[in-house]
């Protein structure tokens, strides 16, 4: 009986040593993943031709703003999405749609709630939304669409993106 327990303990120690050696030789990445930069120019031109509203995209942002996702869905709500990895590592996205305003804002802000706070950016009044996951700046009723700048970034980062938006 004693020999069996001893053999089991020795086997467990040996397995632990082998696992430790394997772990040491497997490469580990520390820090943030390397996100691929996407070129959204073609998608932007396509969306601007197809959409019934002026499609917004940023101009003049520093190179540290990395575009990471883009899509345009022309069916029904003409939804435009452009996502960025901000210089501080946060996520900021531009969302536009002709769909039902309340449902669109709820979806794109992941349930953020409208506040009484507004912010003037380039002569337009944006309404602040605050949420558990995303905060947002919302520009309602612009030529048949709703524009949302949302993400994990601070309101300063969201305002920076909103200020850089151009429709042509």
pLDDT, tens only, 13-50? 889 888 888 878 887 666 656 778 999 999 999 999 99
In the chain, what are the domain boundaries?
Answer: 41-166
The confidence score (pLDDT) of residue 9 equals: 85
Sheet strand arrangement including 145-151:
66-73, 79-85, 91-97, 145-151, 135-142, 124-130, 113-121
Q: How high is the pLDDT of residue 77?
A: 86
**Which pLDDT belongs to residue 27?**
77
pLDDT number for residue 56: 94
Give the architecture (CATH level 2) of 41-166.
3-Layer(aba) Sandwich (3.40)
DSSP H stretches of helix in the chain: 2-25, 41-50, 101-108, 155-164
pLDDT of residue 20: 84
Q: What is the pLDDT of residue 8?
A: 84
Amino acid 142: pLDDT: 66
Tens digits of per-residue pLDDT, 54-65?
A: 999 999 999 999
CA distance 61 to 87: 10
Distance CA 70, CA 82 (A): 5
Low-confidence ranges of the chain (pLDDT < 70): 1-2, 28-33, 141-143
pTM metric for this prediction = 0.79
């Amino acid at each position: 009986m004693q020999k069996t327990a001893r053999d089991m303990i020795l086997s467990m120690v040996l397995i632990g040593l082998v696992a430790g050696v394997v772990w040491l030789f497997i490469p580990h990445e520390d820090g943030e993943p390397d996100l691929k930069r996407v070129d959204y120019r073609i998608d932007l031109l396509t969306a601007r031709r197809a959409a019934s509203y002026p499609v917004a995209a940023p101009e003049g942002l520093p190179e540290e703003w990395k575009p990471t996702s883009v899509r345009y869905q022309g069916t029904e709500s003409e939804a435009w999405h452009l996502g960025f990895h901000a210089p501080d590592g946060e996520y900021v996205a531009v969302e536009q749609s002709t769909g039902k305003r309340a449902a669109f804002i709820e979806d794109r802000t992941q349930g953020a709630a409208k506040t009484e706070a507004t912010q003037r950016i380039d002569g337009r009044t944006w309404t602040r939304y605050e949420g558990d996951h995303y905060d947002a700046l919302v520009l309602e009723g612009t030529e048949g669409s709703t524009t949302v700048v949302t993400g994990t970034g601070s309101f300063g980062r969201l305002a920076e993106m909103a200020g850089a938006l151009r429709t042509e």
